[in-house]
Amino acid sequence: MSDAGACGEPAGSEPGTDAPLDLRLGHSCHRNLVWECARLAPAAALALPELLREVGYSEQVRSPLVRELVHPREHGVVIVPRTGRVQIRVHYLTPLEAREQAAHEVAREISELLTRRG
């Protein structure tokens, strides 16, 4: 049975721990594969693809309006530069129980990259 829950359910079940980038479960037909981050400011959204490429992400080129980068462990990060939306797509072969953690790790990496950028 799908247990996706309400959209926007925040990630991170440890008490007192804030989810990096305010990570929340997003819409997907498959459980726990899609996670939404807090919207980025325009400059950060524009800079993020390059920052991700520098740490080993590869870019799937389809449209400049939607940037899609793939993590070395095949999780996806989709960025809409115009609106600052950042969506993490956990790879579909990730076991169910590990999906939230995987999203968390990607979000943390993004957060650290943006913090270092300043």
Partner 1 sequence: MESLKINALRRYLLEQDLMFLAGQPVVYHCHHFNLFLDQTIDDALGTEASFHLRMNAAREFSGHLLSAVCEHAEARTPPERLSLAAQLFKLMGHGSLDFDADSSGGTAHGSHLHYGFAWLEKYGKQVRRKHPADGFAAGFAAAALEIAYELSPGSLKGVEHECVALRAPQCRIQVERDPSPESAGTVIGERESERVVGAPEDGLYEDVIHPIVLGLKEFTAGVHGDDRGLVQAFGVFVTMHLCGYYNRISYDAVAHIEARAPQSVGVLEELLRESGHVCVFNTFGGILLSPEWEGLVGAPTNDPAKTLAWCIAIGRALGMGHWTIAEFEPERRLVVRTSSSYESVYYRMRHGLAPRPVEYLFQGAALAMAQLVHRVDWESNPQLTAEYYKRLFKGGVPWRAEQTKSIVRGDSISEVVVTKVST
Nearer CB in complex with partner 1: 6/15? 6
Taking the complex as a whole, the smallest distance from the CB of residue 85 to partner 1 amounts, in Å, to: 5
Binding-site ranges for partner 1 (CB under 8 A): 1-2, 4-8, 25-30, 33-34, 60-63, 65-66, 78-83, 85, 87, 89, 92-93
Nearer to partner 1, 16 or 63 (CB): 63
Across the beta sheet with 34-36, the strand order is 24-25, 34-36, 85-89, 76-80, 66-70, 58-63
Sequence-ordered alpha helix ranges (H) in 6-95: 42-54
